[in-house]
Structure 1
Amino acid sequence: MPNGSRNFHHKSHKGCKRCKTRRVKCNKQAPVCANCRRRNEDCEYEIPPPNPAAITVFALPAAQLGDITSFISVSFLSNVIVGCVPASRPERALWCAAFGEALAGCQYLQHTMLSIHTLHVGPRLSKDAFSEATNLAHHHHIMASNAFTHMAPVVNEQNWLAVFIFGISVIIFRFATQQYCPDHLFDYLEMLQVLRISSNIARSVSSYLFRSEMWPFIRDRASLQLICQSDDIGMQQAIENLEGIVSNYRPRSENRRKATPAAFEAFKTWVITCHGYPSVWRHYIDWPATIQTEFLNDIREEEDVPLLLLIYWCAIMYRGPRRWFMEVWLRRTATVVVKKLDGDWNQALVWPLETLQIIHQ
C-alpha cells in the first residue's frame, strides 16, 4: 500500500466492543484503549460463554497449539485468575491484556488453560463426551506439569504472572477433577496438600503481584463484606461452640496434642481475615498452609474433632461466591467426612451442614 494511504477495516477480534462496532483497529491497551480514551468513552471487552465445540481441538500436540485464544476467549481465561468476587470492568480489562501476553509462547500455560477449559465445558456434555473431556483435561494437565517442571522457572518480572496463573490452575484442576471422580478416587487430604504446596508459589510471586496494576483491585475485593449480620451471628456462635469441643479434645497420640488446637486458632484467624466470606485466592490457601502435618495425620486417622474442623472449613468456604470447580467438592467432602464420625455430634453439625445445604439424617 502506498505511503500516506489510510488503512480501513482493521477490526480486531480481541479488541474492545466499541472498536469492533466501529470496525477500527483496537490497540487493546487496558483498561482503556487509545480510541476510547480519545473519545472519552467506556472501554469494555467482550466476555463470550465457553464454546463446547472447542473440545474437539483440545487434543492438539504441543507443537500445534499456536494461539489458543483463537478458540478460547482471553476474557474467559482471565476469569480463572480474577478470584471469586466479580471484578470491575477496569480490572477485567487489565487481566485480559496481561493474560494474553503471558500466554504467548508459554506452552505450560497454554496446556494448563486447555485443561481447565475442558473441565469447565465437560459437565455440559453427554456422559461419554464428559469422560473423554476428563481424559483430555488430564492429558493437558500432565503436559503442563511436565513442561513447568522441565523449565523450573526462576520467578522474575517477566514470568511471575505465568507462574502465578499456573499455581492457581493446579488448584482449580484438583478441585474440579475431584468433584465428579469415582468414590474410590476421592481424596480430600490430597486437596489440602495441594493447597499447602500452592502457598509456596504464592510466596514466590507475592512481591510482584503487590507491585502490579491489578493489586489495588484485588485488595479492594478482598475487603468486601457481602454477608448479612444475622448469618455472622450464627457463624460466630457455632465457632464458639466448636472451641469448647476443641479444648476438651484429647488425641490418641500425645505428640499430636497441640496440633488440633493450633489448627483451630489458625482457623479463627482465617475467618476474621476473610470476614467469613472467602473471596480471593489467598483465602483459599491460608488455612491449609498453616496447619501442621500432625493435624493432617489426625484427619487421615479419622479423629472426630479434626474432622469436625474440616467440615467447618468447608462450610466457611461455601459461604463465599459460587465457583464451578469447587462448590460440589465442598459438599462432597463434608458428606463423606460426616459418615466417618464416631461420636454424637448432631448439635455441632447443625450450622455447618445447614450452611452447606446438606440434609443430615
Structure 2
Amino acid sequence: MPPLRPHRKSRNGCDRCRERRVKCDENGPPCSNCTNRQLNCTYLKVEAARTRVTNARPSKYQAPPASENSDTRSTRSRNGVGSPVSDLSTPHEIDNLELMHKFSTDTYKSLCVSDSENITWQITIPRLALKHHYLLDGIMALASMHLATTAEPAEALIYQDRGLQYYNRSLSPFRHAIDNITPQNCDAVFAHSIVMIAISIASPRLTATKDESSSITENIVVLFELLQGVKKILQACKPWVKLELFTQGEFWKKTSTELNADEDAALAHVASLNDLVMTGVYAKQHDICKDVLAHLRHCYAKFARSPDPAPVMAWLAAVDKDFVDNVRCRQHFSLLILMYWGVLLVKLDGKRWWARNAGKALVSELLEALQGGDPRWDSALSWVQRKLSL
C-alpha cells in the first residue's frame, strides 16, 4: 500500500466552505468554490479568530499579507490599469466602511446621468455589490481613487494604490461573469462596466503623480477589449437587464440628434477622408470606420442635447472588435477617430472628477503619434488643435 499523503487542513477557509465542509482554496473573497456557485463569500469567522489570536488592530492603511499565488498576481498586473501594484487580500474593515461611505455619499453622483439614477447608484447598486464581489471591488476602487484627488500627497498615494488593487482584483471574476451571463448576474456586470470606464479614464493621471509611465491610450485599448464582452449583455441578454442606466434610460431613447455646424462639418470631413483614404486594400477598414464614425456623430449630438457621461461612455461600449484590433495595432486612421472621441471626452472636464484632463491627455498622445503622417489629414488635425487650444 502506498504511503498516505499528509493532509493540509484548510484553516483559513471562507464561511461558506466551512458550512459545506469542503476544502477552500483560501484565495477569496470570493474563493473559487463560491465564484462557481455564485455564493456570497465571507471570511467573518476567520477574521474573528485572527483578532482573538493577535489581539491587535492593523493600521488603517495596512493591507494584510496576500494569500494568492505568483501566477495570479502576475496575471492581475498584466491585465489591470496603471502599473503593477502590490497584492490586496481582505482589507481591514475600517477601510471598507470609509470607502463605502465615500461612494454612497459623494462618488456615486459622478456616475449619474439624471436625477432618476440617484437612488439606483446610491442604494440599489451597493446592495447588488454585496452579492457580486467584483462589483463591490469596483465601487471601492472608484471611491478610493476619488479620495486620492482631495487627500494630502502622502495619503493620496495610499488611496491610489488601494484603488488600483481593488480594481485589479475585480478583473478575473468580472471576466468569468461575462463568460457566464445569467439573469442573476447581468445587472451587476452591466453596472461594473460603467464603473470600469470611469476607473480606466481616471487611472493614468493618478498613477502619473508617482512619476510612473502611464498611457491613457493603452488604458483605452484594454477597456475596449473588456467592454466587448459587456456588449453581449445589451445584445443577447437585453431583456434580463433591469437597471435603467447608461444607454438603457429614457434619455437615450427620446432626445434629438441635432449637432452644431462646426462639429457637424468636422465629423463630415473625417467621414470624407475615410472615403478618400481607406480604399483599395483598406476597403474592409473603410466599412468599419464608417460605422464607428456614424455612432461617434450620434454621441456628439446626444452630448450637445444633454452634457453628461452617457454619450461619452456609450461610444466606448459600442465600437466593433475589428476597430479595437486596428487601434491596438496603431492603425493611423483608427487613431484619428479615437482622437475625435477624445475631443468629446474633453467636454466632461470640470463636470466629472474622473474625466479631469483625461481628454486633453489622450488627444495630446495621439497628436504626437499622428504628426508627420498623411498630409491629407492636416485639416482634421488642425480642427482638434483649435478646439482644444493646443
TM-score by length of 1: 0.66
Is 1:337 aligned with 2:363? no
List runs of 5+ in structure 1 lacking aligned partners: 1-54
Is 1:92 aligned with 2:124? no
Is 1:325 aligned with 2:354? yes
The aligned residue for residue 384 of structure 2 is 352
Is 1:114 aligned with 2:146? no
CA RMSD of superposed structures (Å): 3.9
1:30-49 maps to which residues of 2 (within 5 A)? none
The aligned residue for residue 260 of structure 2 is 232
Tell me the CA shift for residue 335 of structure 1. Answer: 0.7
Q: Which amino acid aligns with 2:134?
A: Y
Is 1:165 aligned with 2:191? yes
Q: Is this contact kept in 2: 1:115–1:140, CA < 8 A?
A: yes
Is 1:309 aligned with 2:337? yes
Q: Is this contact kept in 1: 2:134–2:170, CA < 8 A?
A: yes
Q: Is this contact kept in 2: 1:314–1:330, CA < 8 A?
A: yes
Which one of the candidate residues 221, 245, 252 is aligned to 1:222?
Answer: 252
The change in CA–CA distance for 1:261 and 1:179 in structure 2 (over 3 A counts) is farther
Tell me the CA shift for residue 284 of structure 1. Answer: 2.1
List runs of 5+ in structure 2 lacking aligned partners: 1-58, 65-88
Q: Which amino acid aligns with 2:104?
A: V
Deviations 1:65-111 (A, max 9, x none): 497476334254543653xx3x22x4322443312321325433222
Q: Which amino acid aligns with 2:140?
A: L
The change in CA–CA distance for 1:213 and 1:130 in structure 2 (over 3 A counts) is closer
Q: Is this contact kept in 1: 2:149–2:156, CA < 8 A?
A: yes
The aligned residue for residue 74 of structure 1 is 104
The aligned residue for residue 38 of structure 2 is none
Which one of the candidate residues 132, 138, 146 is aligned to 2:158?
Answer: 132
TM-score by length of 2: 0.62
Q: Could you tell me how far apart the structure 2 residues matched to 1:196 and 1:141 are?
A: 16
Tell me the CA shift for residue 255 of structure 1. Answer: 4.6
What is the DSSP-based 3-state SS (H/G/I as helix, E as strand, rest coil) of the residue aligned with 2:213?
Answer: helix
Q: Is this contact kept in 1: 2:100–2:140, CA < 8 A?
A: no
Q: Percent of counterpart pairs with the same letter? A: 12
The aligned residue for residue 28 of structure 2 is none
The aligned residue for residue 191 of structure 1 is 220
Range moving further from structure 2, 158-167 or 60-69: 60-69
Q: Which amino acid aligns with 2:232?
A: R
Q: Could you tell me how far apart the structure 1 residues matched to 2:177 and 2:229 are?
A: 17
1:41-60 maps to which residues of 2 (within 5 A)? 56=60, 59=63
Q: Is this contact kept in 2: 1:75–1:96, CA < 8 A?
A: yes
Deviations 1:101-136 (A, max 9, x none): 213254332222211111112122233332222211
Q: Could you tell me how far apart the structure 2 residues matched to 1:246 and 1:59 are?
A: 51
Deviations 1:201-260 (A, max 9, x none): 243266467763636995322257699x7x710011112222332222158xx6544314
Range moving further from structure 2, 290-299 or 179-188: 290-299
The change in CA–CA distance for 1:217 and 1:298 in structure 2 (over 3 A counts) is closer
Q: Is this contact kept in 1: 2:61–2:158, CA < 8 A?
A: no
